[in-house]
Amino acid sequence: MNPFRYQHATDVSDAVAIAGRLADAQFIAGGTSQVDLLKEGVQRPAVLVDIFRIGLSEITGLQGGGLSIGANVRNSVASDHLLIRERYTAIAEALHAGASQQIRNMASMAGNLLQRTRCPYLRDPAQRCNKRDPGTGCAAVEGFNRMHAIFGQTDEGAQSPRTCIAVHPSDMAVAMAAHEAVLVIYSRLGERRIAFEDLHRLPEHDPPRDTNLACDDLIVAIELPAFRGKSHYLKVRDRASYAYALVSCATAVEMDGDRIASARIALGSVAHKPWRLFAAEAMLQGERPSEELFRRAAEVGLEGARTYSMNGYKPDMARVLVARGLSEMTGLTPLQGTAGTAFAASVGGIAGVIGGS
C-alpha cells in the first residue's frame, strides 16, 4: 500500500476545501470499496479525506413529492426505508440484492454509486490494465471476459492504450438510472445538480476516468423525482447472494388507464455505466401492454450489442429480463417474490426462477 495522509473533515465545506487544496486527495465514506483498492495499490491518493462523520445522513421529502437521500445514508437504512420501498421499489430491491447485510450496514449511498469496476485485471498488478496503469493495454479483451461489456466499450485491441471493456458493478446505480435521479454536488465553485445519466461515463479514450466528477466534487445528496408508477429490479448472478450481477434490469413504469404513460428501462453489468434503453422506452409510450410488445421492445433495446469469447450469453439474458420486468410491472405476470426485497429481485438460484417471458 502506498503511504498517504489521513484527514477527518469537519463539515461539507471543510471536506471540499481539503480536497481542492491538496493534490491527489480522495474521499472515503464507509470504506468498503476504497480500503480494498488502497491495499491493492489501485488507488494511490496522497491524502484520504474522511467524510463519514460530516452528516449527510438524512432522508427527507421534497416539494412536489420527491425524496432526497443524503450521500452518507447507509445502504441498509435506505433499503428498509418505507418510502423508498413503496415509491422507489427498484432501489430497495437493488440494495437488498447487493453485497451482504454487514457491508450494507457500512456502505454509503454515494460510495455505492462511485465503486469501481470488478474487472479482475484492475486489481492484479501483474496484468495489463489501462484503467489502473494507463497505456499498458487491456488483458480482458483476450482473457477472462465473462463479466464484461456488450455496449459502449472502447475496443481497439488488447495492446491499445485506449481499450477498456469493463462494466460498472453497482446494482443501485441501475435502479437510480431508471428513476432518473439527480445528484446534488458541492465543490469549491458552490452547489450544482447533475442528471444521473451524466454521472458515469463510457471509457471513450480515457479508461481511468469512471465519472464526470472532479476530485473536489462531493456528492451531498441524491434526489429522486416524484414517481407514481411501479418500479422493479431484476438481477441474475452466479449465487443467490453475495455476488455481482451477470446482467440486471431496472424498469420504472407509469400507466394511464390501460396504456403505458412512460416506461424507463436500465440494464446493469452490460456497460461502463448503467445502460438506458431509450429506443425501447420510446416505442412503449402510449401502447397497451402485451407480451409481443415487450418482446419487441427487448429486441430493439439489445440491438447493437457486441459480445466477446466468454460473454455471449448476455444479450439473451438481458432480453429475458427486459420482457419479464415490463411484464411484471404492468401486471401481465405476477411478481416472483415480495416487492421491495431481494426475493423479488433475484432471478435463478434458490430465490427466484429463470424465465417468466
Ligand X SMILES: Cc1cc2nc3c(=O)[nH]c(=O)nc-3n(C[C@H](O)[C@H](O)[C@H](O)COP(=O)(O)OP(=O)(O)OC[C@H]3O[C@@H](n4cnc5c(N)ncnc54)[C@H](O)[C@@H]3O)c2cc1C
Shortest distance, CB of residue 266 to ligand X, whole angstroms?
A: 14
Alpha helices in the chain (DSSP H): 12-21, 34-39, 75-80, 82-87, 89-96, 101-106, 109-113, 171-178, 278-284, 291-301, 314-329, 342-345
109 vs 165, beta carbon nearer ligand SF4: 165
User: Of ligand SF4, ligand X, none, which one does residue 328 interact with (CB within 5 to 8 Å by kind)?
Assistant: none
Nearer to ligand SF4, 71 or 119 (CB): 119
Can you spell out the DSSP letters for 305-351?
----SS-TTHHHHHHHHHHHHHHHHTTSS--SS-TTSHHHHEESTTT
| Binding of residue 130 to ligand SF4 (CB under 6 A) | yes
Distance of CA 254 to the CA centre of its chain: 22
State yes or no: residue 107 binds ligand X (CB under 6 A).
yes
Residue 172 in contact with ligand SF4, rule: CB under 6 A? no
Site string for ligand X, 33-62 (x = CB under 6 A): xx----------------x-----------
C-alpha cell at 143: 482473457
Work out the number of other CB atoms within 10 angstroms of the CB of residue 292.
8
31 touching ligand X, by CB under 6 A: yes
- What is the C-alpha separation between 214 and 331, in angstroms, rounded? 43
Q: Which does 357 bind (CB under 5 to 8 A by kind): ligand X, ligand SF4, none?
A: none
End-to-end CA distance of the chain: 48
Among ligand SF4, ligand X, none, what does residue 260 contact (CB within 5–8 Å per kind)? Answer: none
Q: Name which of ligand SF4, ligand X, none residue 122 binds, using a CB cut-off of 5 to 8 Å depending on partner kind.
A: ligand SF4
Question: Are the C-beta atoms of 146 and 118 separated by less than 8 Å?
Answer: no
Write out the residues near ligand X by the rule CB under 6 A: 26-34, 51, 71, 75, 98-99, 103, 106-108, 110-112, 114-115, 169-172, 218-219, 244
